[in-house]
């Protein structure tokens, strides 16, 4: 029997015991409050000799939350994911899954689902048996296996491929099968390690929405690793930005993009305008004093004094027509224009060689400034974000 997406299939309410034994017929009810995190990491550190791969990381993942670990190569995101999965153990710190200390529990006894970049499907097995594999290992009855696998295929919208082999499917279809295999036994947490990295851009975008749909339909708890900023912003409930083995910033996608907490966070999303200035506070808000282009008005909140970093996103800037003003205004010359699909980026040189990048929607019906044009750019004080130094 196939159930609709609006009503998750019965197996989606079951948990498999981390020991690998069959789960009880009824859903497991934890004695902890429903508001308690499904996963708690506290002070996780991983050392490889003199190299610190992970440095005192603490993070809670709420039930049903989609958390993305984002960062460049070497930032510690994959190390953190491997500690959660049980592939490696931390040098120090602790890890709890649904209230149970699993810090030193081996991977096969954690019952955590995993989706890999290379799909990791078994080529000699049918799609049905690939998805059924976790259930076979747990010695689930054949009738139950059939029901769960067919429901999983319905969920990933591939009901007619059960008899095929992986090589007969496209890359996107194979990735859906890998996801179905990870969730067929309904683990408490699903980990995804760069699962879309092998797909082309168009297919990757389609799969982003598919994964998010499955997450929302079933209320899954997911930890997703990527180095792709757009992917993280599109899919996540929270983005955990990592660098130098630490959490540099964490928050909702809108907040972490528009009001990043650190210089590292602001710079990681690329193309932004970051400068340093001396800050002062007045009754109307923050003023940033820059030695080249003078005072810049900032938001109401911020430090009282001292040197800080500040930034304004390119899309928050606009070209000011004659007679129109803004909280912050600068005059400059357009030095370069770059078309990037929906957006056109303008490099505007101001005093002493400093440049601002301005991003505008590409619109061929409206004449934009050309290279060499004298322009005025402006932005609101609320678009000025004050940044903390990056933790080293």
Contacts of 94 (CB under 8 A, 6+ apart): 41, 42, 43, 44, 101, 103
Contact (CB, 8 A) for 258 and 313: yes
Contact (CB, 8 A) for 387 and 266: yes
- Among all chains, which residue has been given the structure tokens 């940044």? 387
Distance of CA 247 to the CA centre of its chain: 13
- The CA distance from 20 to 38, in Å, is 19
Phi, psi of 265 (to 5 degrees): -65, -45
Sign of CA dihedral 133, 137, 138, 139: positive
Query: Nearest CA to 187 among 217, 145, 221?
Result: 221
Q: Confirm or reject CATH 3.30.1360.120 for domain 10-258, answering yes or no.
A: no
pLDDT at 364: 66
Q: Give, for all 392 residues of the chain, the pLDDT tens digit.
A: 333 333 333 333 333 333 333 333 333 344 444 678 999 999 999 999 999 999 999 999 999 999 999 999 999 999 999 999 999 999 999 999 999 999 999 998 998 999 987 888 999 999 999 999 999 999 999 999 999 999 999 988 999 999 999 999 998 899 899 999 998 988 999 999 998 887 888 888 888 998 999 899 888 899 999 999 999 999 999 999 999 999 999 999 999 998 888 889 999 987 689 998 898 877 667 888 888 777 888 886 655 567 888 999 999 999 999 989 999 999 999 999 998 888 899 999 998 778 999 999 887 656 779 999 999 999 999 999 888 766 55
- The CA distance from 252 to 107, in Å, is 30
Query: Nearest CA to 38 among 90, 122, 112?
Result: 112
Task: Please tell me the pTM assigned to this model.
Answer: 0.81
Instruction: Give the architecture (CATH level 2) of 263-387.
Output: Beta Barrel (2.40)
Give a three-class secondary structure readout of 126-159. Answer: CHHHHHHHHHHHCCCCHHHHHHHHHHHHHHCCCC
pLDDT at 365: 55
**Where along the chain do its domains lie?**
10-258, 263-387
Contact (CB, 8 A) for 240 and 268: no
């Amino acid at each position: 029997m196939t159930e609709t997406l609006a009503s998750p299939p019965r197996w989606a309410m079951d948990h498999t015991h981390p020991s690998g034994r069959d789960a009880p017929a009824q859903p497991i009810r934890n004695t902890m409050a429903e508001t308690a995190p499904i996963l708690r990491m506290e002070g996780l550190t991983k050392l490889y000799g003199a190299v610190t791969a992970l440095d005192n990381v603490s993070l809670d993942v709420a039930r049903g939350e989609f958390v993305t670990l984002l960062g460049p190569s070497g930032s510690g995101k994959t190390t953190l994911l491997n500690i959660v999965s049980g592939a490696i153990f931390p040098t120090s710190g602790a890890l709890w899954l649904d209230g149970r200390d699993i810090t030193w529990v081996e991977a096969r006894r954690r019952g955590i689902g995993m989706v890999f970049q290379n799909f990791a499907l078994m080529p000699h097995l049918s799609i049905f048996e690939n998805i059924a594999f976790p259930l076979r290992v747990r010695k689930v009855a054949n009738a139950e296996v059939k029901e769960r696998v067919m429901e999983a295929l319905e969920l990933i919208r591939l009901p007619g491929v059960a008899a095929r082999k992986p090589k007969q499917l496209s890359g996107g279809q194979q990735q859906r099968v890998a996801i179905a295999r990870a969730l067929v036994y309904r683990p408490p947490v699903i980990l995804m390690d760069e699962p879309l990295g092998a797909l082309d851009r168009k297919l990757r975008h389609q799969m982003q929405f598919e994964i998010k749909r499955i997450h929302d339909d079933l209320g899954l708890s997911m930890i997703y690793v990527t180095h792709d900023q757009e992917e993280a912003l599109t899919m996540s409930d929270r983005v955990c930005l990592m660098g130098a083995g630490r959490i540099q910033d964490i928050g909702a996608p809108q907040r972490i993009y528009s009001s990043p907490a650190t210089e590292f966070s602001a710079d990681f999303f690329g193309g932004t305008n970051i400068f340093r200035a001396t800050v002062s506070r007045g009754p109307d808000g923050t003023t940033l004093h820059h030695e080249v282009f003078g005072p810049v008005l900032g938001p109401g909140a911020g430090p009282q004094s001292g040197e800080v970093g500040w930034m304004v996103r390119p899309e928050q800037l606009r070209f000011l027509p004659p007679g129109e003003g803004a909280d912050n205004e600068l005059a400059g010359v357009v030095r370069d224009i770059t078309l990037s699909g929906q957006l056109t980026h303008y490099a505007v040189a101001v005093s002493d060689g400093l440049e601002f990048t301005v991003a505008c929607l590409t619109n061929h019906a409206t004449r934009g400034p050309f290279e060499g044009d004298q322009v005025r750019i402006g932005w609101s004080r609320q678009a000025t974000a004050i940044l903390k130094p990056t933790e080293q």
